[in-house]
Amino acid sequence: MTATLTHTPAEQALIDALDGATGWQAQLREATLTQGLPTRRHELWKWSDLRRAANDVTAPGRMIVTGLDTPISDGARIELDVTASAGASAADAELVIPAGASVTLIERYSAEAAALGNWHLKITLQDGARLDRIILAADKPDSAFIASSEIALAPNARLHQRALDFGGRLSRIETHVTHPGEGAEVDLGGVYLLEGGHHADSTSVVHHTGPGGVTKQLVKGAAAAKGHGVFQGKFIVDRAAQQTDARMTHRAMMLDDRAEIDAKPELEIYADDVQCAHGNALGALDETALFYMRQRGIPAVRARALLIESFLAEPLDAIADETLREDFKVQLRTRLEALS
């Protein structure tokens, strides 16, 4: 069946950029060819319109990834810099964390203006492996950037993920985890902080396929006037995944009446003996606390920044590497100061 779809210039650019691609990139090409870029009509893209966000993309571009040559062994620290030039581009990679190894993976995303970047990682954690995955999606203000990953754990493996996203015209971090239970643990955390005109989308699916899995997820965000945050989290618990303990929390702060935050936490449970919960809370800055701080002499702008920082910092506090943790907090603080 040939597609009768008329492609937008961005879609055509992406199709051209992926001419002759194999593997995941070929799938992306095929999907773009037959369905175009996702719009809000697409179930999984309810609040993020990629076709629209990429409407200034007209030609193929390039995605450059450095750091992939780092050998993966116990104690390894892999630093991937993923950069999208203007235009449509994609790149992908596959990582296998060997049995029993403990590895830190740091990904830094950046994109030029008018980029449509697609980055995909396939990660396998073997028995007893531990992965600390840390994502800084900071530097891509005028572009659409989609980072997706498929992560499969073996029994006794542990995945600890933290993402810090300052958004962009459209920024999406999409994480799909297959969780076998049997001693495996997943901890997904994220923070987004959005100035006006920025959009960040945190989408994740954790699929529990075996018994006794533990999953924690805490995503916190804040959006200024005309910032748009999206959280979509889904836990699937198969019949075979009895005694799963899975908890999801999204908490966000609207810094202005004109901010928009959309959240869809979902549980899809087919087992009967599980402990699963999700929570979602949207709030505003605590005006009483703000006054208290100002009464003590702290200027309004600084008081706001302190309050927002203390609200957002929690997921980042769990970053094991102290230098990285501090670096992330400095990034957050710098953004906050620029915001006010």
Partner 1 sequence: MLKIDNLHCQVETQDGEEKPILKGLSLDVPAGEVHAIMGPNGSGKSTLSYVLTGRDGYEVTQGSMVFEGEDLSELEPEERAAAGLYLSFQYPVEIPGVPTITFLKEALNAQRTARGEDEVTAPEFMKLIREKAKQLGVSMDMLKRPVNVGFSGGEKKRMEILQALVLEPKFMILDETDSGLDIDALKTVSEGVNALRAPERGMLVITHYQRLLDHITPDVVHIMANGKIVKSGGPELARELEAEGYDKYLGEAA
Binding site for partner 1 (CB under 8 A): 287-289, 291-300, 302-303, 306-307, 309-311, 313-314
Q: Is the CB of 106 or the CB of 312 nearer to partner 1?
A: 312
Q: How far is the CB of 330 from partner 1 (least distance, A)?
A: 15
Closest by CA position to 259, among listed 235, 289, 283, 294:
283
Closest by CA position to 165, among listed 139, 126, 185:
139
Q: Is the CB of 47 or the CB of 192 nearer to partner 1?
A: 192
Q: How far is the CB of 286 from partner 1 (least distance, A)?
A: 8
Q: Is the CB of 272 or the CB of 322 nearer to partner 1?
A: 322
Q: Is the CB of 71 or the CB of 297 nearer to partner 1?
A: 297
Q: How far is the CB of 163 from partner 1 (least distance, A)?
A: 20
Q: Is the CB of 133 or the CB of 162 nearer to partner 1?
A: 162
Q: How far is the CB of 305 from partner 1 (least distance, A)?
A: 11
**DSSP annotation string for 145-180:** EEEEEEEEE-TT-EEEEEEEE--BSEEEEEEEEEE-
Helix axes 23-35 and 9-17, enclosed angle (nearest 10): 150
Q: How far apart are CA 19 and CA 54, in angstroms?
A: 19
Angle in degrees, CA 212, 216, 221, rounded to 5: 165
At 305, give phi and psi (nearest 5°).
-60, -40
Q: How far is the CB of 173 from partner 1 (least distance, A)?
A: 24
Q: Where are the beta strands (DSSP E) in the chain?
A: 63-66, 77-84, 87-97, 102-111, 115-125, 130-139, 144-153, 158-165, 170-179, 185-194, 199-208, 214-223, 228-237, 245-254, 260-269, 275-284
Q: How far is the CB of 39 from partner 1 (least distance, A)?
A: 38
Q: How far is the CB of 29 from partner 1 (least distance, A)?
A: 46
Decide: 189 and 159 in contact? Cβ < 8 Å. no
Q: Is the CB of 43 or the CB of 257 nearer to partner 1?
A: 257
Q: Is the CB of 267 or the CB of 313 nearer to partner 1?
A: 313
Q: How far apart are CA 60 and CA 55, in angstroms?
A: 13
Q: Is the CB of 168 or the CB of 315 nearer to partner 1?
A: 315
Question: Which single residue is written with the structure tokens 């572009």?
Answer: 143
Measured between its terminal Cα atoms, the distance across the chain in Å is 53
Q: How far apart are CA 33 and CA 11, in angstroms?
A: 8
